[in-house]
Amino acid sequence: MSRTDNTKPLWVRQIEHGPRPVHDHRYGPCDLPPKPAREIPDTRCRWEDPGVMLGWSCCAGCNRRSCTREWQRMVKAENRRERYAARREARRAAEEHGG
């Protein structure tokens, strides 16, 4: 994807990549708008929200590389906290048992 694709609004990118319709025919016939719009329509049937495409499309959410990097940082920090807590607990147990 080029840099200009990153500057397009989310709703424009969604239109370019073929959004899926979401139908709700419980209370009447289909009233799906002809194409996705910037505003959320007041209809029962609508086009899929671009935020649904997280993770597997360039249309929404973060790109895979940065998400992975952020996730790795969080996991690394959590693992470090657990490791330090386990060491403190092991030291306390060793001191209690006269080690």
CA 15, CA 50: separation in Å to the nearest integer? 9
pLDDT of residue 55: 47
Q: Is the pLDDT of residue 8 over 50?
A: yes
* Range 25-29 average pLDDT: 86
Q: Is the pLDDT of residue 37 over 70?
A: yes
- Which pLDDT tens digit goes with each residue over 38-82? 777 788 888 877 666 544 455 455 556 666 777 788 788 888 999
pLDDT of residue 64: 60
CA 21, CA 90: separation in Å to the nearest integer? 57
Pair of tokens at residue 75? 């996991």
Residue 63 DSSP one-character state:
-
CA 58, CA 62: separation in Å to the nearest integer? 8
CA 16, CA 19: separation in Å to the nearest integer? 8
**Considering only CA atoms, which of 58, 74, 54, 69 is closest in space to residue 8?**
58
